[in-house]
């Protein structure tokens, strides 16, 4: 056996990605975390740069709970009690008490009848969406939906699919109207928070549109929202896009790996829907769950989010997100209004985006540049992500370094 014939094709693809400026290259390896000191938040050591300490502005850990003592302690105790791993898929012998309790708590947190854990949010979407789609289902998707939704639609092989312009409810309505009586069922799927921009889906308008055409499809219209970047990041109580818009989706997917600071994904819905998914979703049936210790850590994170401490972290996150947006505008950068801690800087040029990422790195700041084709041509950006573990001094330093680049 040999890869000799196919490896030149692999190398050609790598060269193409390099020429396009989108090859990710070697990953930076975190080798240590320095605790907060002198009014600064945590700093991160990178392998090969051990004499430098970096401010991390590209983390999804919005509430800083990955470093919270109660979360770490809960995981440690559970490892000692249950061991390091689940040992099997859940229907064989891999379901532990922390899994069941976490599902119960997540369902209650989202005001749903039931919840179901997966190994990751990506696995959740790819596991759930195809089970909601039959051979007579049309899928309708927002143009800026995450790659997990795109992959899930491809895997599902729906009867038809349509894409509406980002957030364009008039186009969604046009699609639903034009396809009346052509399909048994429609599934409308969208991100809650769009990960590249930090804006949210207009769920109230989307729900009203779907309700208007519900009777035109024999099996109805199902709404599925992935709010992985919304839960624990927006809303007065951290319940995400649904809280902000006042509307619940039929099926909600989210993650434990961002604001909760742990690992894993989950879905909440009606009891019947979750029971159906447990019997049909391959990525649940044939994959190990998150570890019992990760489930225990997520329970501790949920306890914090539902406490006065959690409300304080959310308020801090809102304040810092607004501070960064105001500061960017004052020094002449283009961004979006909003309350989410994803704060994009639109550079709209590939070379200048790369130059700004390098400038920030030279000043010990980690940030992510997004270039075409990851984002549309002309929408090249730096995606900054605020965390409650940041401090006023951290953001002041970030804005100072950005100001030097823009002047």
How many CA atoms lie less than 13 Å away from 122 in the CB half-sphere?
6
Nearest-angstrom CA–CA distance, 242 and 216: 25
Positions annotated as catalytic residues are 195, 229, 258
33 and 67 Cβ atoms separated by less than 8 Å:
yes
Q: Give the chain's mean pLDDT.
A: 95
- Whether the per-residue pLDDT at 205 is higher than 80: the answer is yes
DSSP character string of 41-73: --EEEETT-TT--BEE-S---TT-GGG-HHHHH
How many CA atoms lie less than 13 Å away from 384 in the CB half-sphere?
29
How confident is the model over 44-66, as pLDDT tens digits?
A: 999 999 889 999 999 999 999 99
How confident is the model over 88-108, as pLDDT tens digits?
A: 999 999 999 999 999 999 999
Phi, psi of 47 (to 5 degrees): -60, 130
Residue in this structure with the two tokens 């409650």, named with its chain if needed: 388
Question: Between these two residues, 196 and 82, which has the higher pLDDT value?
Answer: 82
234-255 average pLDDT score = 98
Nearest C-alpha neighbor of 58 from the set 390, 346, 380, 337: 390
Residue 20 binned pLDDT confidence (cut-offs 50, 70, 90): confident
- Whether the per-residue pLDDT at 210 is higher than 70: the answer is yes
pTM, to two decimals: 0.95
Coil, helix or strand at residue 277:
helix
DSSP character string of 166-228: TT-HHHHHHHHHHTTTT-SEEEEEEESB-TTT--B--HHHHHHHHHHHGGGSTT-EEEEEE-T
């Amino acid at each position: 056996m040999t890869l000799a014939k196919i490896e030149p094709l692999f190398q050609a693809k790598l060269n193409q990605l390099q020429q396009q400026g989108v090859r990710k290259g070697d990953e930076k390896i975190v080798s240590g975390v320095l605790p907060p000191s002198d009014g600064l938040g945590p700093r991160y050591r990178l392998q090969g740069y051990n004499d430098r300490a970096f401010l991390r502005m590209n983390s999804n850990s919005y509430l800083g709970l990955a470093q919270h003592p109660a979360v770490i302690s809960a995981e440690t105790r559970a490892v000692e009690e249950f061991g390091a791993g689940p040992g099997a898929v859940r229907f064989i012998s891999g379901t532990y008490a922390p899994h069941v309790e976490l599902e119960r708590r997540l369902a209650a947190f989202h005001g749903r009848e039931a919840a179901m854990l997966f190994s990751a949010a990506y696995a959740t979407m790819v596991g759930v969406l195809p089970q909601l789609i039959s051979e007579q289902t049309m899928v309708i998707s927002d143009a800026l939906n995450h790659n997990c939704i795109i992959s899930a639609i491809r895997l599902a092989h729906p009867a038809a699919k349509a894409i509406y312009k980002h957030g364009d409810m008039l186009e969604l309505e046009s699609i639903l109207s034009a396809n009346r009586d052509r399909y048994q069922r429609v599934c409308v799927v969208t991100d809650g928070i769009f990960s590249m921009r930090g804006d949210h889906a207009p769920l109230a308008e989307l729900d009203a549109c779907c309700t208007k055409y519900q009777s035109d499809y024999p099996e109805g219209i199902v709404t599925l929202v992935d709010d992985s970047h919304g839960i624990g990041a927006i809303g007065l109580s951290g319940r995400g896009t649904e809280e902000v818009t006042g509307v619940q989706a039929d099926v909600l997917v989210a993650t434990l790996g961002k604001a909760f600071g742990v690992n894993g994904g989950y879905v909440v819905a009606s009891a019947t829907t979750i029971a159906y998914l447990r019997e049909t979703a391959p990525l649940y049936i044939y994959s190990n769950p998150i570890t019992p210790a990760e489930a225990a850590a997520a329970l501790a994170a949920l306890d914090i989010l539902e406490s006065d401490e959690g409300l304080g972290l959310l308020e801090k996150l809102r304040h810092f997100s607004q501070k960064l947006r105001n500061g960017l505008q004052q020094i002449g950068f283009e961004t979006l209004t909003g309350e989410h801690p994803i704060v994009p800087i639109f550079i709209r040029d590939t070379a200048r985006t790369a130059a700004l990422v390098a400038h920030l790195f030279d000043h010990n700041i980690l940030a992510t540049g997004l270039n075409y084709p990851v984002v549309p041509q002309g929408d090249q950006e730096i995606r900054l992500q605020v965390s409650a573990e940041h401090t006023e001094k951290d953001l002041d330093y970030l804005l100072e370094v950005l100001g030097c680049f823009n002047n």
